[in-house]
Amino acid sequence: MDNIPKIGDKIVDGKVVRQEQISVNEDLLPQQSDVEDTQEAVVETEEKEYSLKQFKKDYKHIMRREVFPQLKPFEKKRMKYCHNLNIALIAVIILIFAMFLLISNSKANSEAWDVGIKLSFLFVGLYSWVRHHFKKKLENEIKVQIMPLLMNAIPGFRWTLDGIISQDETENVDLFPYDVRTNVKTDDNFEGKYRGVEVAITESNYSYTTRCGKHRHTVVIFNGAIARIKMNKRFDGITLIRPKFNASIRYKLEKVKLEDVDFHKHFTVFSTDQIEARYLLTPSFMERFKDIMTAFKTKKIFCSFNGDYVYIAPYASGDLFSLAHLSKTLIDENQYDVLFQEFSSILALVDHFKLDKKLGL
């Protein structure tokens, strides 16, 4: 009797399947919505690992949901710093005004006026130093707490104040004009993998001081970010890109002439291998190069292809990766957007070279 089919039963391979069994089995099967959710999760995971688009999405989410709530105590500290510095500025202005009023009323000679002018510069310089000190103090306190959160947008990346790319390393690849007197200072550092490719970024200042009698003058060779990207192919030659005004090199390399006239107005290219240089410096690469110029608001970039690494160093007139302005609220998306553009313009080079795959000439 069990094999006699009833209404609602199905015949599968000559056997009767009862309606109640069908209901139970269908309940155990994954529903269409579950399948779609799983597919979306897979896509999202892949994008998160490999896509700048997903990086931007996660970066925005972390910024709004995790970073901004952490900034409220720092915002109160910023306002306190700003209030005290404004009082100090007013005091400096009153002091300078009173000093020149005294000199004027006493009918002092030119030497007294010279002393007054020098003291005025001293007071203004001291105020500027104090303001910068408090700005960096607040910024470093914020970054210790905030940067690890932002780096969660790229799993495996880390931020540190310890220098990652050394002076010896940049000298070995002839990234900047060499000078034995050069002193190096570092600030923000980032290190990790994007699309399986090793990337390191160090904010650096390369400078030296000269003396002429009693006067001292600081010569800045470079100020900005140095990015080192690991290539999956080792190049036999050396190719350098230097700003037009600063094209001196140590190695005996030949100048490379490219078709991009506008590029040659700003940069000079040197290489030991003309064919390899043209293979690397394609029109597409130059567009990426210009994107970095836009992101860092500069027209000066140094570049070196050496061994299995490429070094890109955009020059900057001010502080990079900045997250604290004393005169602006800390809870400001614009400054975080600037940081994202600076960071992602470098990561975009990985996409350009397809460095997660083997390159072949």
Each residue of 8-38: b (16+ CB within 10 Å) or e?
eeeeeeeeeeeeeeeeeeeeeeeeeeeeeee
User: Same structural domain for residues 251 and 121?
Assistant: no
Q: 214 and 334: one domain?
A: yes
Query: Can you give the pLDDT at residue 248?
Result: 66
* 66 located within any domain: no
Would you state the pLDDT for residue 29? 39
pLDDT value of position 26: 42
pLDDT at position 24 is: 39
The pLDDT score that the predictor gives to residue 40 is: 41
Residue 5 lies in a domain: no
* In the chain, alpha helices (H): 19-28, 32-50, 52-62, 68-70, 72-105, 110-150, 167-172, 261-266, 274-280, 283-295, 333-353
* 236 within a domain of the structure (yes/no): yes
Q: Tell me, yes or no, whether 149 and 162 share the same domain.
A: no
CA distance 354 to 222: 29
CB atoms within 10 A of CB 90: 10
Co-location of 144 and 167 in the same domain: no
Task: Give the pLDDT score at 352.
Answer: 73
Domain boundary among 132, 153, 174: 153
The answer, as to whether pTM is greater than 0.85, is: no
Q: How many independent structural domains does the chain possess?
A: 3
Full domain range(s) for residue 34? 10-54
Q: CA dist 3 to 8, 18, 83, 99, Å?
A: 14, 10, 90, 113
Q: Considering the domain boundaries, does residue 63 fall inside one? A: no
Both tokens of 316, joined, read 């900057």
170 and 294 both lie in a single domain = yes
Same domain, 345 and 261: yes
Q: Which residue has the tokens 């989410």?
A: 61
Q: Along the 361 residues of the chain, how does pLDDT read in single tens digits?
A: 555 545 445 554 555 555 544 443 444 334 444 434 333 433 444 444 557 888 888 888 898 888 888 888 888 888 998 899 999 999 989 988 888 888 777 766 777 777 888 888 888 989 899 988 888 888 888 888 888 888 888 877 888 888 899 999 999 898 988 777 888 888 889 999 888 888 999 999 999 888 777 778 888 889 989 999 998 778 888 899 988 876 667 667 888 888 888 888 888 899 998 888 888 888 888 888 888 888 888 888 999 999 889 999 999 877 777 777 788 888 888 888 888 888 888 888 877 776 655 544 4
Indicate if 34 and 80 belong to the same structural domain.
no
Last residue of a domain, one of 121, 153, 185: 153
Residue 194 sits in the same domain as residue 139: no
Cβ atoms of 186 and 203 within 8 Å: the answer is: yes
The predicted structure's pLDDT at residue 309: 92
- Tell me, yes or no, whether 120 and 50 share the same domain: no
Identify whether residues 143 and 161 lie together within a single domain. Answer: no
* Rounded (10°) angle between helices 333-353 and 283-295: 160
Domain boundary among 120, 153, 186: 153
Q: Are residues 198 and 287 in the same domain?
A: yes
Domain shared by 270 and 358, yes or no: yes
Place of tokens 């007013």: 90
